[in-house]
Structures are given as C-alpha cells and as structure tokens.
Structure 1
Amino acid sequence: MLRSKLTDSPLLKVSRPVSACSRCRSAKVKCDNKLPACTACEKAGREKECTAANDQFARGKERSYVAALELRIEKLERRLGYARSMKDSVALNGPDEPPAGDPNRKDSMAFIRAAIHRKAVQTQEDADINTLVSDFGYLAVNTTTRDFEPSESNMTFARLVLAASTNEPVPTPRTADLPAESTARALVQFYETNVIPIYPVFPGTLLHALVSDLYQQHRRQIRSSEYWLFWMVLAISSASQSRSRRDEHYQHAVEFVGRALPHADRALRPGYGTQVQSLLLLTQYSMLDPAHFDSWHPIGFTCRAVVDQGLHQDPPHIQQMGQDALNERRRTFYCTYALDRAISMVHARAFSFYDEAVCVALPSPFQASSTLSGSTTAKRSPDASLPLFRLRQLQSEWYQALYQGNPNEHLPDITSFIWQKYREMWEWSERLPPDMPAAIREMLELELRYSYVYCIASNARGAQVSAYGKLLIFDHVISYVDRIYDIAKLAENAAVYTYHDALRVLFMGSQFVAVLQEIGDLILSGSSIPSPAPGKVLPPPRPVRLDRGTGDDLDRSVRCLERVKLTLRLYGDRWESALSCLKNFEGLSAEVWKNLTTRQAMRNPAPTGQWLPIPGA
C-alpha cells in the first residue's frame, strides 16, 4: 500500500531542519544549517554570505507556498494525462480488462503489452506521488506565512500536517454533544496531575476555566483553538488510561480526537501563539495512538514552527517581556525540545535542530500537582519538568556527538567521552529532588538506565565496546526490564508511559542479546571482568544489583529475555505495532534463548522418571 510505503520511508523533509542556505543549495552540497553560518560557508570564508532559504520570504519577497503546490499538481496532472493518452494509443486492451485471445498463452503479445503498460503506469504514478511529497522538503515552508489561512486556500497548514501524520483515518464521531461535565472535569484533572508536571505547555487553571466556560448555560464564544485544546486533552487523558485497544478508554479517545479534527485548520494556523501548543497536543496524542498517527511528523512540524517563530532563542531584550510570559515561552520551547529529543532517539533519527542553534535558558520552577492517580485531591510538589529538560540536554550532547555528527570528523578518546557523559548523567540523578513524586522519579530512573545503555552501546563512530562496558549494559538492561515489566503488568501510574516505551524495551532487549552473543560465556561462567585501566576519566563502578536472591546470572538472563517478551506482549494488547516488536525480538533472540534454556536443563536435571523440557519449546 502506497501510504505505508511513505510512512515507512518518510520523504517529507519539511519536518527536519530548516532548508539549506542559498549558497549550499546552488552548489548542491549538504548544508548543516548551523547558525549564524553553516560549516560549508565557514570553511569557504563566506560566513557573511550564508543566508537561509527563509530569507527569500523577507518582507516584499514573499513567494506563495500554495501557488507552488498548485503548479506542482498541475504538472503532475499533465504527466498523468499524457500517460493515459499513451495507454489509449498503445495498449491493445484496457488495464482493467482481460487480454484478447487465449489468456493461457504466455506468448500472447496483447497479454504482455497490457501487463507491461499496467506496471509502467503504476510505477509512474508512484514516482509522481513520491516526487510531490518529497518536494515539500525543497519548498521553503515558513509556518508563519498567511498562505495557509483556511479562508484563502483549500491547502491549509493543518491539512498538510494531518496528511503527513495520519496512518489510518480517524472514524467519524458518533455524537456532536459534549460529554457529561463530571466526565470532562475528571479527564482534565487527570491531564493536570499526570501530564502537565512533565510537559507544562499551559497551566491547569486554563483548562479548568475553559471547562467552566463550555458548560455554562449562556457561554461565551469559544474559539476553535480552545475547542482543539479541550478535545485533545480529553483524548490524551482517555488514551493514557487505556490498557487495550479494545477497551472503553481507547474508544473514547478516538471519539474525542474525531471531535477535535474539524477545528484543526484554525488551531494549527501559522503565525499564532496557539499553533505550537496545538501541535504539541497532537504530538502527545500520537505517542499514545500509533494506529492513527505517526509521532515523527507532528514533532517535526512543531520544531519547524518553533524555529520560524524564533522560540529557539531568548528575546534580545528580556526586560521588555514580563517574567511570567518569558517563562511560558521557555516552557513551550523546552517541551518541544524534550519531545523532539525523545522521539528522535527512540527512532534512531536526526534531531530537528542542533543544540548550537539554541539559546534559551531553562524556565523558572513552577508548582505542579503531584497526584498521579487521577484523584481530585492533590498536594503541591516541585517542578518535575526541569529535571526532564536537563536530562534531555545531557542526552542530546552525547547523541549528537556519537550518532548525529560527521563520522569522518575525529573525536579524540571516545571512551573517555562516553565515561564523562555517563558520569554527568549519574550526577544528574543524584541531584533529583527528594520529594519528587514517586511515579515521575521511577520514570526518570528508567530513562537514565536506557540512556546509560544507549550511550555505551556501539555507535556510528565505530568505537569498540569493552567487555566491562558490555557488563554494564548487562546489569542495566536487567534492572530496566524487571521494572518496566512490573509497570506494564500492574499498570502502576502508567499514564507517563507511551508506545515509545515498547520501542525502548525492544532496544534494550536487543542490546542484551548482543551482549550475550559476544561475551555470554564469560559472564555466565562467573569470570571476573576487570574495570579498564583509567584514562582521562575513570570508568563508572558496576551498579548495585537490585535483584539479589533471584538466582545466578544464567537465571537472570533467562528471566530477562522472558520478561522482554512478556512486556512486549502486554504492550501489544494496547498497541498492535508492539506485536511487530515482539516478533522481531523473538527472531533475534531465538538462538540465545535456546542456548540458555539448554544450559539450565543441563545444570538442573529433572528428577528420575520425569521428562526433560525441550529447549526453546
């Protein structure tokens, strides 16, 4: 299916960094979009000549994006018309009609010509559509332009976003009525106590005030952006509480999204302050419903809107902006930054913008509700979003250097670099507030172990992981899998977990299998693996074992592999895509699983008269 092809290999380049500068584009060389001048212009000594493609859209030089799309569509229509005329003049039979003569004759010229032509037409149509989608990336889309106003064109920015982001169409809502006020308030309270502490895009008081306005007998005029906010918050809260794609919570979530979509044109319209917040809500929901939306595209569009609106830079004169407004602006940016880093890492893709282009201070702390159970009683707790923002900054530093940087660029002493970043993340964990809500602390600790493994594992720089580094991966994966399995099984405070956690489980399990394949005999034999000789940075100590009394390393390994499968199966009931992760892991770990279970059977022979288990059964 063409739609699946496009989402599997996305060609929509608009969600990635801003377009190449004019000099790189004319020279047809890769531009890294660094500010204030790209690397190519710096090396050529032409920093002052480095102008972004967006400079074409300076006042008085606007070029209509919609007009460019219309020209492209007109060109495609001419090519399709030409293809149809060729079909009528060349083909002896229509592509949907059976060939003349005996259809069983393999040498029938009519059959051969019809088949060749059908394939040529289909290939051309696929190429035309791929070219059209790909061309979005070469057109300088400025998300602040008024070309996307619904009243001026049928091609709106919202429709472009939804076309790129939608996997399966959202069903038409069954009703046009508001839900019961008690239901709406419970879902808004759930969002305030579970999501806002991590991603404070807007204050919870705003949501409660909006609910009050909506349920008044003579309510004021509600804007489309407010309706979008209301319905998307209800959808996110419902999807967060879902445990199966067949349960009532998920059905309600899809219904609420269907109610929000008619307001997308106005809510996502460029150049307005509500655009970024509305895109962030779509991104948050897409992480909970991969069947209908792909989170990779919404966060890309959000980052583009952030850059075009200049939110990636603090205002030059801070004193001209109130402190509250400045903190709100910074929180909006760092929510986008945190989601972009998380989504890019879990998909092993490039960030939407480099850290070098960012100059935004962390916002001041704010007091947020700490209850994570949906209860209406909530005490005040420290701002949990700031530790998350700081962790994303630390992750971004090593991910850019190890995975996103130029592999030909020399990075001296990669091992010391990795140990240094490991230490910085450990120091971050030691500074977490002691009164942080337990569920958020647990989520951050799981993210920390995931980061340890990701940073140590083999990378694009080609550095070899030492045996001691693999031992650290072994320990961290076991601790991670033990806890994420309990969370998935018991659904404890699972509101902070998304489909991306299924992808993280697959990644951690894959790294565990790789370690067992490479040094499994060394670990399982109990041989000592010494810490490497200290270089510029001391290697970290081996983490304290949290599962004492549960067997030796062989038992731990078997249990870890089993729990990866069980966790993915539990997530598969909630997200069908997780079942593909399970299938991939089962194939990846089949040989290791067989070897481990065989070792167990040989070490623990069955009592006389009982059958031995078949390895791998």
Structure 2
Amino acid sequence: MGRSSLADTPLLKVSRPVSACSRCRTAKVKCDNKLPACTACERAGREKECTAANDQFARGKERSYVAALELRIEKLERRLAYARSTKASVALHGPEEPPAPDPNRKDSMAFIRAAIHRKAARTQENADINTLVSDFGYLAVNTTTRDFEPSESNMTFARLVLAASTNEPVPEPRTTTLPAEPTARTLVQHYETNILPLYPAFPAATLHALVSDLYQDPPRPTRSSENWLFWMVLAIASAAQSRTRQDEHYANAVEFVGRALPHADRALKPGYVTQIQSLLLLTQFAMLDPAHFDSWHPIGFACRAVVDQGLHQDPPQVQEVEPEALDTRRRTFYCVYALDRAISMVHARAFSFYDAATSVSLPSPAKAGAISPALSSGSTTKPPPDSSLPLFKLRQLQSDWYQALYQGDPTDPLPDAASFIWQKYFAMWEWSERLPADLPPAIREMLDLELRYSYVYCIASSARGAQLTSYARLLIFEHVVSYVDRIHEVANNAANGAFYTYHDALRVFFMGSQFVAVLRDDADLLLSGAHVPPPATAPGV
C-alpha cells in the first residue's frame, strides 16, 4: 500500500452506482445521481424534491456519502492548490518594496510576509483536513459496504485513518525477511512485561502462539490482522527502548512499522474486534513516535469503532455471554477508554465520549498466568497482580473531575467548586491507598507519577473551579517538586520498566508551568516552609 502522500492524493474514486432519486424512480427515467440534485430534477425545476427513494437519509441530506465526500475532496484539493500557489507567488515575487540590505534577517519585511503566508497556508491546510475527517462521521452507516473493501481505486477505512494520523511518511522497509527469532521474542517479552499489563487488549498467549507460528518450518499462513499485531508489537517494544531519535532501537521501530503498514487495509477493516485492537496498537506507537504519527486521530477512530460495535454498553442481562468473553469485551473497552482519557487530558481536549453515554463494568482481575505465560510454565514465582484495573479506576476518577471542571460551560461556575475539588482529590488519595502491595515496582512508580499529575491538574486554576488558596498552592508546589524529582530518575534510568511516552514530556511541561504560576503568586510563603492549615472544605488530605 502506498504511503508517501496519502493526504495529497487520496484514492477516492468510487465507481459503484447508487440508487436513483425518488422522482426519477417514479418517472422511470435515468438518474445521474448528481448532488445536491440530479440533472433531471434540475431541468424540471424540482431540485428540492430530489431526495433518496428510501428514508435512510432525511430530506436535505446527501443520498450517497461517498459521492458527497468526493465533492468535498475536490473542494479541498482546490483550496490546497490555491494555498500552495499563493505561497509560491510570495516566494517568487517577494514584497513590493525595495529589498532590504540583508533579506535573510528575521526582522525583514520579506521574511515576515513569507512567514505569515506560510503559516496561513499551513493553518488552512490543517483546517481543511480536520473538516474532511469530521465529515467521515457519516461512515458509521455504511462502513462495512463494499465501498470499503481494499482495492487500488478507492478509499478504505485504513487509508482514511493513516491519512489523518500521519505527520511524516514512514520510509519503505529495507528488507522483507523476519528478524532473528531471539530478537523478536525479546521484543515481545518487553511488550508483554511493560505495556500489555497496563493495556491488555489481547491475551499474551496469542502473541506467543503467533511468534511460534511465524518461525516454525514451514511457517503457518497468517491473516493481515495477525501480521499487523506482530509487527506493531515489535515496533512499540523497540520504540519504548529508544533513547534518541537516531539510535538503533528507533530505526528498528520505524522499519517494523513499515512492515506492518501493507497489512493495514485488512487489519483496520471495520466491524471486527481486531479493528479496535489494531487501532490501539497504532495509538500506542504514535504516543512513542510523534514525528510520524499523531495519537489524537487513531484513538478517536478507536473510540468511534467501540461505539459503532456497541462495546460502550454491557450486553443486556437476558443475553447470555460467557464470562471470559464478557471480560475480554470489557478489557477492550477500558483499554480504549484509558488511552482516550489520557490523551485528551494531556492535550487539554474534550473526551471522545462522555461517561454518561457508557455503561460497562470493570473486568474481573486477570487470572494467574493470563498476562505472563512465561511465569505460569513451571516457574514458582508468583505472577504479578492485574495492573490494568488500578489504571482503569484512576482513569475513571480523572474522567469524573475533568468533565466537570474542563468540559462544562466555562461561563457557568460549579456550585461549591471548592468542596467538589477536595472530594475528588480525596477520592484519588483513597485509590492510592488501595493499590495492591505487590504491584511491579516500575508500574507502581508510574501510577504514583500519574497520581501526582492528577492532583495538580484537579487543583489547578480552571474556568469552572474555585479560586486557588494558599493551601492549594502549597500542595501544587510539593507535588510538582516530588514529580520532577522522580521523573528525572526515570528519564536517566535506561532500563525503566513501564510505558513512558512523549506525553510524559507534555506532562512535565504542564507541571512546570503550574510550578512557575504558584511561585509567582505566593513565592514568599512557599519558600519559607511555614505551616499552612487546610481549608475547612478539604477532607482528611
């Protein structure tokens, strides 16, 4: 599958005919399906009556979402062409005034004017692409039709996802052979130990069986979704061990992603749980490699797939579902939920869906050996507890106060906001007190960092929150200092055993900005070490 310029030249030509409009069908004349009204209706002056023959779409809506999207793509291409021509015109002709003695100076009019036009062109291009992506909300109706079967002449769901998510094209792979089996198993083990316990979207046994099948002689034929799983796990595990963009781990990660992308059309095919799992893997890699992918779009598509497949609601009680299948379904939902909440908060954006729209119980704790088969096969070592449940519970607590403080109407302050904030603070403290004592140390440290970040985020000044008190500033000051000390140790530990991504760099920036803000407002008090009594509205914190 070509990946070099998906956003510039999307494959959107669709030749499938669509239904005639109701008027042409009644008159038994040929309908050319032109939008917003066909030629026959235009000639008869009946444009407003040109609607679908059935009631699938309301009056005024397009009969064919594919044709509508083709028209929008054409408009966007014209806009992009105009923006690029404007940019080229500025570069060729320059300013009307005589050139400055040094045209490369950053304060020259030529430089400033060219920069303004470049920024305007980029802004318009980004806005056009975002508008296009938002219009694909109509696709939920027909994402399983043959319009989305892979071919060389149409748009598939995978191509849409990659076009929206790609920041920089992934280079073509340098080889077509499998990596050495010990290398693959080492990377799978890293993923299984450090990432899968937090986001168990699929069983670890599936990974090990897949590796065995690929390296047996002769190898078992594998499906596209299995190939995507194998290569993306290798890519994520390799990128997670990278320390610089130029090191061997990063180069291998990009190579593995290049091997996965040809399988995207089938792996991301709508209507299957494998689609959600594949989107989760793409999201995880995007969190590690923002140069090539933007994590915001794949997690948004994953949330849409979860809703389309009904995983945001538990099955009705009258419907008998095997307990293991129900837990698998719930784990898949909460993996998407947890990543959506984390990504939305770090980018200060709205969640993909509200908690009120969901009704999914937490899954049962993973059985011993379910996460790490290596430990259950002849080993006397006690398997670690399920690390995903504490993370899912923390995301629920974060989601509760984030929706109230940051997603509500900013012109409508919360009633008794101070009490609300301290109640949520105390609920997170209680969560930390209930963490299993035998959690892996690296994961426990990661959860503690998440907790301190959540404390500061919840207390920090917001449009609907309460005015910061001296006690709140003191708490922010202490949590930030502790957070920075520990994240510094993590950054300098070459063998950290948890899932740290570039989002943690964004969290560090947020914590630093809050630290500067409280110091600016109350430096004398914070640096003096004086005791500050908690407010009456703060429960035992």
* Structure 1 length-normalised TM: 0.68
| Alignment match, 1:140 | 137
| Alignment match, 2:493 | 490
8 Å CA contact 1:66–1:153 kept in 2: the answer is no
Distance 2:446 2:433 in 1: 15
Distance 2:296 2:149 in 1: 24
Distance 2:97 2:458 in 1: 60
Going from structure 1 to structure 2, the CA distance change for 1:121 and 1:229 (only over 3 Å counts) comes to closer
Q: Which whole-Å deviations, capped at 9, do the CAs of 1:326-350 have from their partners, x for residues lacking one?
A: 1111000000000000011111111
Going from structure 1 to structure 2, the CA distance change for 1:465 and 1:217 (only over 3 Å counts) comes to same
Do residues 185 (structure 1) and 182 (structure 2) align? no
Q: Which whole-Å deviations, capped at 9, do the CAs of 1:19-42 have from their partners, x for residues lacking one?
A: xxxxxxxxxxxxxxxxxxxxxxxx
1:46-445 equivalences under 5 Å are 64-75=64-75, 127=124, 130-131=127-128, 133-143=130-140, 144-146=143-145, 147-151=147-151, 153-317=153-317, 319-367=319-367, 379-445=382-448
- What's the offset of the Cα at 1:183? 1.0
Distance 1:160 1:409 in 2: 38
Distance 2:289 2:504 in 1: 13
Going from structure 1 to structure 2, the CA distance change for 1:76 and 1:336 (only over 3 Å counts) comes to closer
Going from structure 1 to structure 2, the CA distance change for 1:128 and 1:323 (only over 3 Å counts) comes to same
- What's the offset of the Cα at 1:497? 1.1
| Alignment match, 1:43 | none
Secondary structure of 1:490's match?
coil
With 390-399 and 218-227 compared, the bigger mean Cα shift is at 218-227
* Structure 2 length-normalised TM: 0.78
| Alignment match, 1:529 | 532
Going from structure 1 to structure 2, the CA distance change for 1:128 and 1:525 (only over 3 Å counts) comes to closer
- What's the offset of the Cα at 1:82? 10
Distance 1:136 1:514 in 2: 37
Distance 2:464 2:448 in 1: 27
Distance 1:317 1:188 in 2: 37
8 Å CA contact 1:367–1:380 kept in 2: the answer is no
Identical columns (%): 69
Going from structure 1 to structure 2, the CA distance change for 1:70 and 1:381 (only over 3 Å counts) comes to same
Do residues 476 (structure 1) and 479 (structure 2) align? yes
With 245-254 and 224-233 compared, the bigger mean Cα shift is at 245-254
Distance 1:361 1:327 in 2: 9
Q: Which whole-Å deviations, capped at 9, do the CAs of 1:455-487 have from their partners, x for residues lacking one?
A: 011012152110001001111111111111111
What RMSD over aligned residues (CA atoms) do the two structures have, in Å? 3.4
Amino acid at match of 2:411: N
Q: Which whole-Å deviations, capped at 9, do the CAs of 1:510-540 have from their partners, x for residues lacking one?
A: 11111111111112233332222x13xx344
With 224-233 and 180-189 compared, the bigger mean Cα shift is at 180-189
- What's the offset of the Cα at 1:220? 2.8
- What's the offset of the Cα at 1:128? 7.5
Going from structure 1 to structure 2, the CA distance change for 1:130 and 1:416 (only over 3 Å counts) comes to closer
| Alignment match, 2:38 | none
Secondary structure of 1:496's match?
coil
8 Å CA contact 1:286–1:292 kept in 2: the answer is yes
Secondary structure of 2:288's match?
coil
5+ residue gaps, structure 2, are 1-6, 8-54, 101-112
| Alignment match, 1:467 | 470
- What's the offset of the Cα at 1:121? 13
1:582-593 equivalences under 5 Å are none
8 Å CA contact 1:72–1:132 kept in 2: the answer is no
Going from structure 1 to structure 2, the CA distance change for 1:509 and 1:69 (only over 3 Å counts) comes to same
| Alignment match, 1:456 | 459
Distance 2:120 2:528 in 1: 56
Amino acid at match of 1:511: Q
